[in-house]
Amino acid sequence: MLTIYRVLVALYPSSYRLEYEEEMLGVLEQSNAESHDKEWPARLALAGRETMGLLRGAFEEHFRALAGFYPVPVFPNRRTSMRSEFRFPKTTVTLMTIILVAIIVTIEKAKAISQSIPPSSTQVGPIRPEYVGVVPAFLIVLVGACVLGVVGWAILFALQRSGMHRLSSVHPDAGQTKSTTLGLK
């Protein structure tokens, strides 16, 4: 199967192969070794998924090399999409825009409130907030986030998908070379 993977990786543009070929082949070799003990349907599914991912990736990289951008996927699959130019999720721009609009709206409302108070020489009493202050609101959000984190961890723990369960299945001596197992250094 590794020979087929090497042929499929050779379909990528040369500039892409120079940067990612070793890493891709290493990951493919590792996943192939891990699936060696599994039943043949699981191995076949893994081989099909990896083959389709490699073909799709090669097509997308050639398209990007020719057109300058990635093609719009018909069925987007974030799992197999490897992008080297993105540091943040694409939704970051949208969320930052929404936050900017909210700040601008808040500033405009504050200006409107300050202009609606008639200028006078008499002392105006303190403005009493009608809602929760900033510090209690921050604490409520912080406690809510902690509660959601604990609930999420509890669900992962119950499904045995937490990091603790994954680490318990790691065999540290599986990565040793023959020289270290024979006592040679």
- What pLDDT does residue 182 have? 47
Q: How many CB atoms lie within 10 A of CB 62?
A: 14
Residues 6+ apart with CB under 8 A from 16: 61, 65
The domain segmentation of the chain, as residue ranges, is 2-67, 132-169
- What pLDDT does residue 150 have? 92
| Local mean pLDDT, 10-residue blocks, the chain (185 residues) | 86 88 89 86 88 87 80 58 60 86 88 77 67 71 91 83 68 56 47
- What pLDDT does residue 156 have? 81
Whole-model pTM: value is 0.41
Residues 6+ apart with CB under 8 A from 93: none
Cα–Cα distance measured from residue 97 to residue 168, given in angstroms and rounded to the nearest whole number: 43
- What pLDDT does residue 129 have? 59
